Structure 1
Amino acid sequence: MSTDQPHPSRADDGPPDDLSAFIGLLNELKTTGCNLLVVGDAPREVFTRASGRLLGDDDQLRYRLLAVTDATPRSIAERLPDPDAAPRSLTETTRILNHTGAPRSVTAATDPTTPPELAGIRETCVADPELRGLQSALAEAIDETENRADRLRPADLRVCLDSLGPLIDHYGPDVVRRCIDAVGGHVRDRDAMAHYVLANAYDSDPVQALAPGVDAIIELRTVDPDEYGHDAQQRWHVPRRDITTEWTPL
Protein backbone atom coordinates (compact mmCIF):
# COMPACT_ATOMS: atom_id res chain seq x y z
CA MET A 1 0.00 0.00 0.00
CA SER A 2 1.50 3.29 -1.03
CA THR A 3 0.61 6.23 1.15
CA ASP A 4 0.44 8.34 -2.00
CA GLN A 5 -2.52 6.28 -3.22
CA PRO A 6 -3.91 4.28 -0.26
CA HIS A 7 -6.32 1.48 -1.11
CA PRO A 8 -6.95 -0.43 2.15
CA SER A 9 -9.68 -3.02 2.56
CA ARG A 10 -11.93 -3.19 5.56
CA ALA A 11 -11.81 -6.06 8.04
CA ASP A 12 -14.13 -8.94 7.21
CA ASP A 13 -16.05 -8.51 10.48
CA GLY A 14 -16.13 -4.70 10.35
CA PRO A 15 -19.10 -2.50 9.42
CA PRO A 16 -19.46 -1.41 5.77
CA ASP A 17 -18.34 2.17 6.53
CA ASP A 18 -14.98 1.08 7.99
CA LEU A 19 -13.25 1.40 4.62
CA SER A 20 -14.43 4.93 3.91
CA ALA A 21 -13.63 5.95 7.48
CA PHE A 22 -10.09 4.61 7.18
CA ILE A 23 -9.43 6.23 3.80
CA GLY A 24 -10.73 9.49 5.23
CA LEU A 25 -8.38 9.10 8.18
CA LEU A 26 -5.37 8.48 5.91
CA ASN A 27 -6.16 11.57 3.87
CA GLU A 28 -6.48 13.55 7.10
CA LEU A 29 -3.11 12.29 8.37
CA LYS A 30 -1.42 13.14 5.07
CA THR A 31 -2.81 16.66 5.25
CA THR A 32 -2.08 17.41 8.91
CA GLY A 33 1.11 15.40 9.42
CA CYS A 34 1.48 11.98 11.02
CA ASN A 35 3.77 9.55 12.81
CA LEU A 36 3.57 5.84 11.99
CA LEU A 37 5.09 2.82 13.73
CA VAL A 38 6.05 -0.09 11.44
CA VAL A 39 6.21 -3.40 13.32
CA GLY A 40 5.87 -7.13 12.91
CA ASP A 41 7.57 -10.50 12.99
CA ALA A 42 9.04 -10.31 9.50
CA PRO A 43 12.46 -10.33 7.79
CA ARG A 44 14.30 -7.04 7.49
CA GLU A 45 13.83 -7.09 3.72
CA VAL A 46 10.08 -6.74 4.25
CA PHE A 47 10.61 -3.71 6.48
CA THR A 48 12.88 -2.17 3.84
CA ARG A 49 10.18 -2.66 1.22
CA ALA A 50 7.48 -1.12 3.42
CA SER A 51 9.75 1.78 4.36
CA GLY A 52 10.49 2.52 0.72
CA ARG A 53 6.80 2.82 -0.05
CA LEU A 54 6.20 5.09 2.93
CA LEU A 55 8.99 7.35 1.69
CA GLY A 56 6.97 8.01 -1.46
CA ASP A 57 6.69 7.10 -5.12
CA ASP A 58 9.73 7.43 -7.37
CA ASP A 59 8.22 9.97 -9.75
CA GLN A 60 6.85 12.32 -7.07
CA LEU A 61 8.95 15.12 -5.60
CA ARG A 62 9.56 14.13 -1.99
CA TYR A 63 12.16 15.30 0.48
CA ARG A 64 13.50 12.33 2.42
CA LEU A 65 15.26 12.34 5.77
CA LEU A 66 16.56 8.96 6.97
CA ALA A 67 17.96 8.46 10.47
CA VAL A 68 19.67 5.08 10.79
CA THR A 69 20.87 3.09 13.78
CA ASP A 70 21.26 -0.41 12.35
CA ALA A 71 20.08 -0.19 8.74
CA THR A 72 22.67 -1.32 6.21
CA PRO A 73 23.81 0.93 3.34
CA ARG A 74 22.19 -1.46 0.86
CA SER A 75 18.82 -1.34 2.63
CA ILE A 76 18.99 2.46 2.66
CA ALA A 77 19.69 2.54 -1.08
CA GLU A 78 16.87 0.09 -1.82
CA ARG A 79 14.22 2.33 -0.32
CA LEU A 80 15.25 5.43 -2.26
CA PRO A 81 13.74 6.23 -5.67
CA ASP A 82 15.32 5.28 -8.97
CA PRO A 83 17.59 8.25 -9.77
CA ASP A 84 16.43 8.11 -13.40
CA ALA A 85 12.76 8.40 -12.35
CA ALA A 86 13.10 10.97 -9.57
CA PRO A 87 12.16 14.53 -10.59
CA ARG A 88 15.23 15.91 -8.80
CA SER A 89 18.66 14.61 -7.87
CA LEU A 90 18.76 12.56 -4.66
CA THR A 91 21.62 14.76 -3.48
CA GLU A 92 19.15 17.68 -3.44
CA THR A 93 16.22 15.90 -1.78
CA THR A 94 17.73 13.31 0.55
CA ARG A 95 19.65 13.47 3.79
CA ILE A 96 20.97 10.75 6.11
CA LEU A 97 21.58 10.97 9.86
CA ASN A 98 23.93 8.27 11.07
CA HIS A 99 23.43 7.29 14.75
CA THR A 100 25.26 3.99 15.03
CA GLY A 101 27.23 2.75 18.01
CA ALA A 102 30.49 3.15 16.09
CA PRO A 103 29.62 5.67 13.35
CA ARG A 104 30.81 4.60 9.93
CA SER A 105 29.87 6.51 6.84
CA VAL A 106 27.19 4.90 4.68
CA THR A 107 27.69 7.33 1.78
CA ALA A 108 31.48 7.55 1.43
CA ALA A 109 32.37 7.23 -2.24
CA THR A 110 35.81 5.92 -1.30
CA ASP A 111 34.30 2.88 0.42
CA PRO A 112 33.87 0.05 -2.13
CA THR A 113 30.84 -1.27 -0.18
CA THR A 114 28.90 1.99 -0.60
CA PRO A 115 25.99 1.54 -3.02
CA PRO A 116 26.42 3.98 -5.92
CA GLU A 117 22.92 5.38 -5.28
CA LEU A 118 24.13 6.85 -1.97
CA ALA A 119 27.24 8.58 -3.30
CA GLY A 120 27.04 12.33 -2.81
CA ILE A 121 24.02 12.29 -0.49
CA ARG A 122 24.57 14.52 2.52
CA GLU A 123 25.30 12.49 5.64
CA THR A 124 25.58 13.67 9.24
CA CYS A 125 27.15 11.41 11.84
CA VAL A 126 25.51 12.20 15.18
CA ALA A 127 28.46 12.64 17.54
CA ASP A 128 26.40 12.80 20.75
CA PRO A 129 25.89 9.17 21.80
CA GLU A 130 22.86 10.07 23.90
CA LEU A 131 19.38 9.89 22.44
CA ARG A 132 18.97 13.63 22.89
CA GLY A 133 21.65 14.11 20.25
CA LEU A 134 19.64 12.17 17.66
CA GLN A 135 16.48 13.99 18.68
CA SER A 136 18.12 17.39 18.20
CA ALA A 137 19.70 16.36 14.89
CA LEU A 138 16.33 15.22 13.55
CA ALA A 139 14.62 18.44 14.61
CA GLU A 140 17.38 20.55 13.03
CA ALA A 141 17.32 18.52 9.80
CA ILE A 142 13.54 18.86 9.54
CA ASP A 143 13.80 22.64 10.00
CA GLU A 144 16.64 22.90 7.49
CA THR A 145 14.78 20.84 4.88
CA GLU A 146 11.77 23.11 5.20
CA ASN A 147 13.97 26.18 4.75
CA ARG A 148 15.84 24.79 1.73
CA ALA A 149 12.79 23.45 -0.13
CA ASP A 150 11.02 25.74 -2.57
CA ARG A 151 7.68 25.06 -0.95
CA LEU A 152 6.66 22.09 1.15
CA ARG A 153 3.15 20.84 0.62
CA PRO A 154 1.54 18.38 3.06
CA ALA A 155 3.33 14.98 2.96
CA ASP A 156 6.20 16.31 0.81
CA LEU A 157 8.65 15.71 3.64
CA ARG A 158 9.09 12.04 4.56
CA VAL A 159 11.06 11.03 7.66
CA CYS A 160 12.28 7.53 8.55
CA LEU A 161 14.01 6.20 11.68
CA ASP A 162 15.36 2.66 11.18
CA SER A 163 15.37 1.21 13.66
CA LEU A 164 14.11 1.77 17.19
CA GLY A 165 15.36 -1.63 18.36
CA PRO A 166 18.88 -0.60 19.44
CA LEU A 167 17.51 2.56 21.05
CA ILE A 168 14.97 0.64 23.13
CA ASP A 169 17.61 -1.91 24.15
CA HIS A 170 19.89 0.88 25.39
CA TYR A 171 17.51 3.52 26.74
CA GLY A 172 14.24 1.70 27.37
CA PRO A 173 10.82 2.29 25.80
CA ASP A 174 9.88 5.26 27.99
CA VAL A 175 12.87 7.34 26.89
CA VAL A 176 12.33 6.36 23.24
CA ARG A 177 8.66 7.28 23.55
CA ARG A 178 9.61 10.77 24.72
CA CYS A 179 11.98 11.10 21.76
CA ILE A 180 9.25 10.10 19.32
CA ASP A 181 6.87 12.59 20.96
CA ALA A 182 9.38 15.41 20.51
CA VAL A 183 10.33 14.55 16.93
CA GLY A 184 6.70 13.86 16.10
CA GLY A 185 5.79 17.41 17.10
CA HIS A 186 8.22 18.79 14.51
CA VAL A 187 6.81 16.36 11.93
CA ARG A 188 3.23 17.46 12.51
CA ASP A 189 4.18 21.15 12.54
CA ARG A 190 5.49 20.70 8.97
CA ASP A 191 2.56 18.52 7.83
CA ALA A 192 5.17 15.83 7.18
CA MET A 193 5.00 12.03 7.42
CA ALA A 194 7.36 10.03 9.64
CA HIS A 195 7.66 6.30 10.22
CA TYR A 196 9.66 4.44 12.83
CA VAL A 197 10.76 0.84 12.31
CA LEU A 198 10.57 -1.68 15.16
CA ALA A 199 10.97 -5.34 14.24
CA ASN A 200 8.84 -6.67 17.11
CA ALA A 201 5.48 -8.41 17.13
CA TYR A 202 2.45 -6.13 17.32
CA ASP A 203 1.38 -7.44 20.73
CA SER A 204 4.89 -7.21 22.23
CA ASP A 205 5.54 -4.94 25.21
CA PRO A 206 7.84 -2.49 23.33
CA VAL A 207 5.28 -1.94 20.57
CA GLN A 208 2.41 -1.44 22.99
CA ALA A 209 4.52 0.97 25.05
CA LEU A 210 5.12 3.16 21.97
CA ALA A 211 1.63 2.83 20.47
CA PRO A 212 0.04 5.80 22.30
CA GLY A 213 2.65 8.13 20.82
CA VAL A 214 1.89 7.46 17.13
CA ASP A 215 -1.10 8.02 14.88
CA ALA A 216 -1.19 4.49 13.44
CA ILE A 217 0.69 1.20 13.50
CA ILE A 218 1.49 -0.78 10.36
CA GLU A 219 1.91 -4.49 11.07
CA LEU A 220 3.86 -6.65 8.61
CA ARG A 221 3.99 -10.39 8.06
CA THR A 222 5.20 -12.89 5.47
CA VAL A 223 2.87 -15.38 3.78
CA ASP A 224 3.15 -18.36 1.45
CA PRO A 225 3.40 -16.92 -2.08
CA ASP A 226 1.99 -20.11 -3.60
CA GLU A 227 -1.17 -19.65 -1.53
CA TYR A 228 -1.58 -15.87 -1.67
CA GLY A 229 0.18 -14.84 -4.86
CA HIS A 230 2.49 -12.52 -2.90
CA ASP A 231 5.01 -13.00 -0.11
CA ALA A 232 4.21 -10.23 2.39
CA GLN A 233 1.17 -8.47 3.82
CA GLN A 234 0.32 -5.48 5.98
CA ARG A 235 -2.54 -4.29 8.09
CA TRP A 236 -3.06 -0.96 9.80
CA HIS A 237 -4.09 -0.39 13.40
CA VAL A 238 -5.51 2.91 14.62
CA PRO A 239 -6.30 2.23 18.28
CA ARG A 240 -7.63 5.75 18.94
CA ARG A 241 -10.34 5.22 16.32
CA ASP A 242 -10.80 1.49 17.04
CA ILE A 243 -9.89 0.71 13.41
CA THR A 244 -7.99 -2.35 12.18
CA THR A 245 -7.85 -3.17 8.48
CA GLU A 246 -7.74 -6.65 7.04
CA TRP A 247 -4.43 -8.02 5.75
CA THR A 248 -3.57 -6.65 2.29
CA PRO A 249 -0.61 -7.29 -0.05
CA LEU A 250 2.46 -5.21 0.67
Structure 2
Amino acid sequence: MVTYPPDEAADGVPVVETVPDTNGGQTILVVGEASDAATVVANRLLFTHGGQGRLQLLVSTRARESGQTRHPAVETIDYRPEPAPAQEPRTETEGTDVVDGRLTSLGTTVSRRILEFRRPLDGQVDLRLCVDSLTDLLASHDRETVFRFVTTMAGQIRRVGGSGQFHLPLPWDADEAIRLAPLFDAVMEVRAVDGRYEYRWLLGGGAAEWRAI
Protein backbone atom coordinates (compact mmCIF):
# COMPACT_ATOMS: atom_id res chain seq x y z
CA MET A 1 0.00 0.00 0.00
CA VAL A 2 1.37 3.39 -0.99
CA THR A 3 1.28 6.12 1.66
CA TYR A 4 2.15 9.79 1.37
CA PRO A 5 3.99 11.94 3.91
CA PRO A 6 2.84 15.58 4.17
CA ASP A 7 5.87 17.03 2.38
CA GLU A 8 6.28 17.17 -1.38
CA ALA A 9 9.34 16.95 -3.56
CA ALA A 10 10.73 20.12 -5.12
CA ASP A 11 8.84 19.45 -8.35
CA GLY A 12 5.51 19.26 -6.54
CA VAL A 13 5.12 15.46 -6.78
CA PRO A 14 4.22 13.85 -3.41
CA VAL A 15 7.00 11.63 -2.07
CA VAL A 16 5.89 8.04 -1.50
CA GLU A 17 7.26 5.85 1.25
CA THR A 18 7.16 2.51 -0.55
CA VAL A 19 8.63 1.32 -3.84
CA PRO A 20 7.57 -1.65 -5.98
CA ASP A 21 9.12 -5.10 -5.79
CA THR A 22 10.61 -5.63 -9.25
CA ASN A 23 12.02 -9.12 -8.76
CA GLY A 24 10.48 -11.12 -11.61
CA GLY A 25 7.18 -10.92 -13.45
CA GLN A 26 7.39 -7.16 -13.69
CA THR A 27 7.06 -4.67 -16.53
CA ILE A 28 8.42 -1.16 -16.04
CA LEU A 29 7.83 1.99 -18.07
CA VAL A 30 10.97 4.13 -17.89
CA VAL A 31 10.24 7.84 -18.53
CA GLY A 32 12.40 10.96 -18.51
CA GLU A 33 14.14 12.91 -21.23
CA ALA A 34 17.64 11.71 -20.27
CA SER A 35 17.76 8.75 -22.65
CA ASP A 36 21.36 7.97 -21.69
CA ALA A 37 20.19 7.50 -18.10
CA ALA A 38 17.63 4.93 -19.25
CA THR A 39 20.42 2.99 -20.97
CA VAL A 40 22.42 2.98 -17.74
CA VAL A 41 19.35 1.76 -15.84
CA ALA A 42 18.96 -1.15 -18.26
CA ASN A 43 22.62 -2.13 -18.03
CA ARG A 44 22.82 -1.90 -14.24
CA LEU A 45 19.36 -2.93 -13.04
CA LEU A 46 18.07 -5.22 -15.80
CA PHE A 47 21.00 -6.61 -17.77
CA THR A 48 23.36 -7.77 -15.05
CA HIS A 49 25.10 -10.87 -16.32
CA GLY A 50 24.47 -13.88 -18.49
CA GLY A 51 24.09 -17.37 -17.20
CA GLN A 52 22.33 -20.70 -17.42
CA GLY A 53 18.64 -20.18 -18.06
CA ARG A 54 18.82 -16.41 -18.52
CA LEU A 55 17.77 -14.77 -21.79
CA GLN A 56 18.59 -11.06 -22.07
CA LEU A 57 17.02 -9.33 -25.08
CA LEU A 58 17.34 -5.73 -26.23
CA VAL A 59 14.86 -4.50 -28.83
CA SER A 60 16.52 -1.40 -30.23
CA THR A 61 14.94 1.16 -32.54
CA ARG A 62 18.07 3.30 -32.61
CA ALA A 63 20.84 3.18 -35.18
CA ARG A 64 24.10 2.13 -33.59
CA GLU A 65 26.96 4.56 -33.99
CA SER A 66 30.24 3.39 -35.49
CA GLY A 67 32.36 1.70 -32.85
CA GLN A 68 29.54 1.59 -30.29
CA THR A 69 29.45 -1.60 -28.27
CA ARG A 70 26.58 -3.23 -26.42
CA HIS A 71 26.37 -5.37 -23.33
CA PRO A 72 28.22 -8.63 -24.17
CA ALA A 73 25.61 -10.85 -22.48
CA VAL A 74 22.66 -9.27 -24.31
CA GLU A 75 21.13 -10.41 -27.59
CA THR A 76 19.99 -7.51 -29.77
CA ILE A 77 17.06 -7.24 -32.14
CA ASP A 78 17.36 -4.09 -34.24
CA TYR A 79 13.96 -2.85 -35.41
CA ARG A 80 13.63 -0.40 -38.27
CA PRO A 81 10.06 0.97 -38.52
CA GLU A 82 10.60 1.89 -42.17
CA PRO A 83 12.37 -0.50 -44.55
CA ALA A 84 15.78 0.70 -45.71
CA PRO A 85 16.07 1.78 -49.39
CA ALA A 86 16.86 -1.08 -51.73
CA GLN A 87 20.23 0.40 -52.66
CA GLU A 88 21.33 0.45 -49.02
CA PRO A 89 21.96 -3.13 -47.87
CA ARG A 90 21.23 -3.96 -44.25
CA THR A 91 24.22 -4.60 -42.05
CA GLU A 92 24.06 -7.19 -39.30
CA THR A 93 26.54 -7.78 -36.50
CA GLU A 94 27.11 -10.95 -34.53
CA GLY A 95 24.34 -11.54 -31.99
CA THR A 96 22.01 -9.07 -33.74
CA ASP A 97 18.80 -9.70 -35.70
CA VAL A 98 17.42 -6.97 -37.94
CA VAL A 99 13.66 -6.68 -38.37
CA ASP A 100 12.09 -4.24 -40.84
CA GLY A 101 8.58 -2.95 -41.15
CA ARG A 102 5.70 -4.16 -38.99
CA LEU A 103 5.33 -4.46 -35.25
CA THR A 104 3.66 -7.83 -35.75
CA SER A 105 6.91 -9.06 -37.32
CA LEU A 106 8.85 -7.71 -34.36
CA GLY A 107 6.51 -9.38 -31.87
CA THR A 108 6.81 -12.68 -33.74
CA THR A 109 10.61 -12.43 -33.75
CA VAL A 110 10.75 -11.83 -29.98
CA SER A 111 8.22 -14.58 -29.22
CA ARG A 112 10.08 -17.08 -31.41
CA ARG A 113 13.39 -16.33 -29.68
CA ILE A 114 11.82 -16.83 -26.23
CA LEU A 115 10.30 -20.14 -27.36
CA GLU A 116 13.59 -21.34 -28.84
CA PHE A 117 15.38 -20.51 -25.60
CA ARG A 118 12.75 -22.14 -23.39
CA ARG A 119 12.43 -25.43 -25.28
CA PRO A 120 15.67 -27.15 -24.11
CA LEU A 121 15.12 -25.79 -20.57
CA ASP A 122 11.66 -27.38 -20.14
CA GLY A 123 10.05 -23.94 -20.20
CA GLN A 124 12.18 -22.45 -17.42
CA VAL A 125 13.74 -19.16 -18.44
CA ASP A 126 14.86 -16.01 -16.65
CA LEU A 127 13.79 -13.43 -19.24
CA ARG A 128 15.11 -9.85 -19.24
CA LEU A 129 13.63 -7.75 -22.04
CA CYS A 130 14.27 -4.08 -22.84
CA VAL A 131 12.50 -2.07 -25.57
CA ASP A 132 14.33 1.14 -26.48
CA SER A 133 12.35 3.15 -27.34
CA LEU A 134 8.58 3.52 -27.49
CA THR A 135 8.84 7.08 -28.82
CA ASP A 136 10.30 5.77 -32.08
CA LEU A 137 7.50 3.22 -32.36
CA LEU A 138 4.84 5.86 -31.69
CA ALA A 139 6.39 8.10 -34.35
CA SER A 140 6.05 5.38 -36.98
CA HIS A 141 2.89 3.49 -35.94
CA ASP A 142 -0.52 4.47 -34.70
CA ARG A 143 -1.09 4.49 -30.95
CA GLU A 144 -3.43 1.48 -30.92
CA THR A 145 -0.88 -0.69 -32.73
CA VAL A 146 1.88 0.27 -30.29
CA PHE A 147 -0.41 -0.36 -27.31
CA ARG A 148 -1.22 -3.86 -28.63
CA PHE A 149 2.48 -4.56 -29.08
CA VAL A 150 3.24 -3.43 -25.51
CA THR A 151 0.38 -5.54 -24.13
CA THR A 152 1.59 -8.61 -26.04
CA MET A 153 5.18 -8.20 -24.90
CA ALA A 154 4.11 -7.58 -21.29
CA GLY A 155 2.08 -10.78 -21.42
CA GLN A 156 5.12 -12.72 -22.65
CA ILE A 157 7.21 -11.33 -19.81
CA ARG A 158 4.65 -12.11 -17.11
CA ARG A 159 3.99 -15.59 -18.51
CA VAL A 160 7.58 -16.66 -17.81
CA GLY A 161 8.00 -14.55 -14.66
CA GLY A 162 10.52 -12.28 -16.33
CA SER A 163 11.40 -8.59 -16.11
CA GLY A 164 10.97 -5.93 -18.77
CA GLN A 165 11.78 -2.27 -19.29
CA PHE A 166 10.14 -0.12 -21.95
CA HIS A 167 11.87 3.23 -22.49
CA LEU A 168 9.86 6.36 -23.24
CA PRO A 169 12.22 9.38 -23.22
CA LEU A 170 9.51 11.93 -22.48
CA PRO A 171 8.55 13.86 -19.31
CA TRP A 172 6.57 11.81 -16.78
CA ASP A 173 3.50 14.00 -17.31
CA ALA A 174 3.57 13.85 -21.13
CA ASP A 175 0.32 12.68 -22.72
CA GLU A 176 1.81 9.44 -24.08
CA ALA A 177 3.39 8.60 -20.72
CA ILE A 178 0.07 9.07 -18.93
CA ARG A 179 -1.74 6.90 -21.49
CA LEU A 180 0.86 4.12 -21.43
CA ALA A 181 1.43 3.95 -17.66
CA PRO A 182 -1.65 1.76 -16.88
CA LEU A 183 -0.23 -0.99 -19.10
CA PHE A 184 2.75 -1.48 -16.76
CA ASP A 185 3.33 -2.76 -13.25
CA ALA A 186 5.46 0.26 -12.34
CA VAL A 187 6.77 3.55 -13.73
CA MET A 188 10.34 4.74 -13.23
CA GLU A 189 11.59 8.25 -13.97
CA VAL A 190 15.26 8.91 -14.79
CA ARG A 191 17.27 12.12 -14.99
CA ALA A 192 20.80 13.43 -15.37
CA VAL A 193 22.08 15.78 -12.65
CA ASP A 194 25.59 17.27 -12.62
CA GLY A 195 27.03 14.48 -14.72
CA ARG A 196 25.39 11.64 -12.77
CA TYR A 197 22.21 9.66 -13.30
CA GLU A 198 19.33 9.22 -10.87
CA TYR A 199 16.03 7.36 -10.83
CA ARG A 200 12.85 7.26 -8.77
CA TRP A 201 9.61 5.28 -8.75
CA LEU A 202 6.31 6.96 -9.62
CA LEU A 203 3.40 5.29 -7.84
CA GLY A 204 -0.20 6.15 -7.16
CA GLY A 205 0.18 9.83 -8.05
CA GLY A 206 3.34 10.21 -5.96
CA ALA A 207 7.05 9.57 -6.25
CA ALA A 208 9.76 7.85 -4.25
CA GLU A 209 12.99 9.70 -3.45
CA TRP A 210 15.62 10.11 -6.14
CA ARG A 211 18.39 7.51 -5.96
CA ALA A 212 21.72 7.32 -7.75
CA ILE A 213 21.96 4.71 -10.50
Fold similarity call, TM over 0.5: yes
Asked if structure 1 preserves the Cα contact closer than 8 Å seen for 2:198 and 2:212, the reply is yes
Question: Could you list the per-position Cα deviations for residues 97-134 of structure 1 after superposition, in whole angstroms to 9, with x for gaps in the alignment?
Answer: 22113384352xxxxxxxxxxxx32x32224x111111
Structure 1 residues 150 and 210, CA, compared in 2 at 3 Å: closer, same or farther?
same
Answer yes or no: is 1:39 the counterpart of 2:12: no
Q: In the aligned structure 2, how far is the partner of 1:165 from the partner of 1:60?
A: 31
- Where does 1:230-245 land on structure 2 (aligned, <5 Å)? 231-239=196-204, 244-245=207-208
Give the TM-score normalised by structure 2: 0.78
Answer yes or no: is 1:141 the counterpart of 2:113: yes
Deviation, 1:245, is 0.9
Structure 1 residues 141 and 54, CA, compared in 2 at 3 Å: closer, same or farther?
farther
Structure 2: unaligned runs, 5 residues or longer? 9-13
Answer yes or no: is 1:126 the counterpart of 2:89: no
Structure 2 equivalent of residue 184 of structure 1 = 154
Question: Could you list the per-position Cα deviations for residues 64-120 of structure 1 after superposition, in whole angstroms to 9, with x for gaps in the alignment?
Answer: 111111152679734x25xxxxxxxx4xxx42222113384352xxxxxxxxxxxx3
Structure 1 residues 59 and 159, CA, compared in 2 at 3 Å: closer, same or farther?
closer
Q: In the aligned structure 2, how far is the partner of 1:138 from the partner of 1:222?
A: 31
Deviation, 1:141, is 1.7
Give 1 or 2: higher helix fraction.
Answer: 1
Any idea what SS the aligned residue of 1:18 has? coil
Any idea what SS the aligned residue of 1:46 has? helix
Structure 1: unaligned runs, 5 residues or longer? 1-9, 82-89, 108-119, 226-230
Deviation, 1:151, is 7.0
Between 1 and 2, higher relative CO (CA 8 Å, sep ≥ 6) is seen in 2
Give 1 or 2: higher strand fraction.
Answer: 2
Structure 1 residues 148 and 68, CA, compared in 2 at 3 Å: closer, same or farther?
farther
| Percentage of pairs with the same residue | 28
Give the TM-score normalised by structure 1: 0.68
Structure 2 equivalent of residue 70 of structure 1 = 62
Any idea what SS the aligned residue of 2:171 has? coil
Deviation, 1:170, is 1.5
Any idea what SS the aligned residue of 1:126 has? strand
| RMSD across aligned positions (CA) | 3.1
- What amino acid is aligned across from residue 91 of structure 2 in structure 1? S
Asked if structure 1 preserves the Cα contact closer than 8 Å seen for 2:200 and 2:208, the reply is yes
